[in-house]
Chains A and B, each alone.
Chain A
Amino acid sequence: MSMLIKHIVRFLFFILIQVFVLNQVELGFGVQLMVYPLFIFLLPVELSIFPLLALSFLLGISIDSMSNTYGLHTSALLTFAYARPFIFKLFAPRDGYDTLLRPNIFEMGRKWFFKTFGLLLVIHHFWFFLLEMFKLNELLFVLQKVAISIPASFLVCILLQYLFVTKSSDK
């Protein structure tokens, strides 16, 4: 039960921080900070794909409706959620995932987190910017935006975990 409340609070927190803080931060050079995929990433590993997709649709549409992006975030987040099980399987530990461990940077280790979350974030960002431009002749600009937005988003995601995840996990 407490898990459920924790995830609901986290859901609201990610909407608020994305819409009211990170969407307003403009670093220039096309850098765009997007941390809401972290919410989908932090959900339990054994959660099936259907609630995962439903939750990412809900989260995406809430963020879209508050930032005038009309389904752009939703589409990218759905792709992220769809790819999550595949990537998790790809980088699974030798004897499978321990159901007691949560998929965050502390319990699964730094190396694992960098690989899985990094790859998923690349998929998410690439999908997002490609759809936003929707022009193949601006592919270079898309790649530039992806290449500089990913490190920035990744750093904020790590920071968020150090700030909030530790406290909730050591109970």
Chain B
Amino acid sequence: MRNFLTFIRRFRVLLFFALLQGFALSIYFTFVHFPRAQYLTTASIVSGSILEVRNDLTKHFNLSENNTNLQKENIALMDRLPFSFVQVNNGLVKIEDTTYQQQYEYIPATLINSTHDKRNNYFTLNIGSKQGVVRGMGVFSGKGVVGVIHNSSDHYSVVKSCLTESINVDVMIEKTGQFGLLKWNGKDARRGTMWGVSNDVELKKWAAVVTRGGGGIFPRGIPVGKIEKATEIEGKPLWDITLKFSENYTSLQRVYVVKNILLEEQKKLESLTLNEHGL
């Protein structure tokens, strides 16, 4: 016992250091991989409200660019309204039909904090679980995919952005339908990589890459970027595709959170199938 006490006394500095260091490292690794609580992230009420004040001060810096983007988005939407169409078939009676059912709802949000030059970048949104945001929902902007909700508190939420290593959004080449996963190499905030396309496929430069909508996180066809470069990976039958993101994440402010109404149904069906095979 005495030896034990002398041991502790002798190494007390190192032990104290190891204790604190162990605590810090365990938060780091658990939060990056399985976020449980939001106390130590910007989703907590203290950090969230401080960041909101800062955002109030700095949000005007990119105002003109954001306004132009909103305007473009409005025009695109207006093009689809009934008054932009000429009536071709006269004399037909329009009836309410049930062919189409709404699958996705969109919740508007504002980015109040973001980084772009870290290895893994997270964005903070000013809406949280009170507005119906839960972990796993998709986030996109008028120009492209932004990320997936990582965790949320009552009034704020943190987005795991496309600028993280393992974002793994299901994407596909719009024309040919080849699909793969979106990754980021940590170097350039304007470029990402697409992983998993077999190298016997011919690729066109500047071919558009969009979301595939496989996991029920994003609707199909939200733009991601364009193919800038493709090189062969040595020893693997795959292309290493470099994408130029269609969204400029460094000046991003207005985003939409995707709520998939039919997600539960899809998940239920999928788990049923898995259960049948005993997986």
Residues on A close to B: CB < 8 A?
20, 23-24, 26, 28, 30-32, 49-50, 53-54, 57, 60-61, 64-72, 74-75, 78-79, 82, 131-133, 138, 141
- The contact of A75 among B21, B47, B54, by CB within 8 Å, is B21
Residues of B contacting A74 in the complex (Cβ-Cβ under 8 angstroms):
20, 24, 27
Of the candidate stretches B37-45, B170-178, B220-228, the one touching chain A is B37-45
> How far apart are the CA atoms of A54 and B28 in the complex, in Å?
18
Question: In the complex, which of the residues B40, B117, B122 contacts A61, with contact meaning CB atoms closer than 8 Å?
Answer: B40
Contacts of A28 in B (CB 8 A): 117
* Residue among A20, A28, A69 having the largest count of chain B Cβ atoms under 10 Å: A69
Write out the residue numbers on chain B whose beta carbons fall within 8 Å of the beta carbon of A49: 13, 16-17
Contacts of A138 in B (CB 8 A): 186
- Known A30-B187, A66-B42, A68-B124; contact A75-B28, beta-carbon cutoff 8 A: yes
Chain A nearest CB from B127 CB (Å) reads 17
Interface residues of B (CB under 8 A from A): 13, 16-17, 20-21, 23-28, 31-32, 39-42, 44, 46-47, 50-51, 54, 58, 113, 115-120, 122, 124, 158, 186-187, 250
Complex alpha-carbon distance, A68 and B16, angstroms? 25
Main secondary structure, interface of A, reads: helix
- Say yes or no: B42 contacts A68, CB within 8 Å: yes
**How far, in Å, is A125 (CB) from chain B's closest CB?**
14
> Chain B interface mostly helix, strand, loop or mixed?
helix
CA distance A67 to B58 in the complex (A): 16
Q: How far in angstroms is the closest Cβ of chain B from A18?
A: 12
Given A50-B16, A53-B17, A71-B24: A66 and B47 interface contact (C-beta under 8 Å): yes
Give every chain B residue within 8 A of A30 (Cβ-Cβ): 117, 187
CA distance A71 to B120 in the complex (A): 13
Could you name 5 residue pairs across A and B whose Cβ atoms are closer than 8 Å? A57-B24, A66-B51, A67-B113, A68-B158, A71-B26
B31, A70: Cβ atoms under 8 Å? yes
Contact B16 A70 (CB under 8 A): no
Nearest residue, chain B, Cβ from A74: B24
Bound: A124/B186 CA distance, A: 20
Task: Flag if B119 contacts A70 (CB, 8 Å).
Answer: no
Report A-chain residues with C-beta under 8 Å of the C-beta of B113: 67-68
A24 to chain B: which residues have CB within 8 Å? Answer: 58
Residue of A with least CB distance to B50: A66
Contact yes or no, B25 A75, CB < 8 A: yes
Q: For residue A71, which residues in chain B have a CB less than 8 angstroms away from its CB?
A: 23-28, 31, 40
Assembly CA distance A8 to B115 (angstroms): 28
A-side contacts of B28, CB under 8 Å? 69-72, 75, 131
Interfacial chain B residues near A26, Cβ < 8 Å: 115-117, 250
Residues of chain B within 8 A (CB-CB) of A67 are 42, 113, 115
Residues of A within 8 A of B47 (CB): 65-66
Separation of A31 and B118 alpha carbons in the complex (Å):
9
Question: With A26-B116, A26-B117, A30-B117 given, is the CB distance from A65 to B44 under 8 Å?
Answer: yes
Whether B250 pairs with A64 at a CB distance below 8 angstroms is no
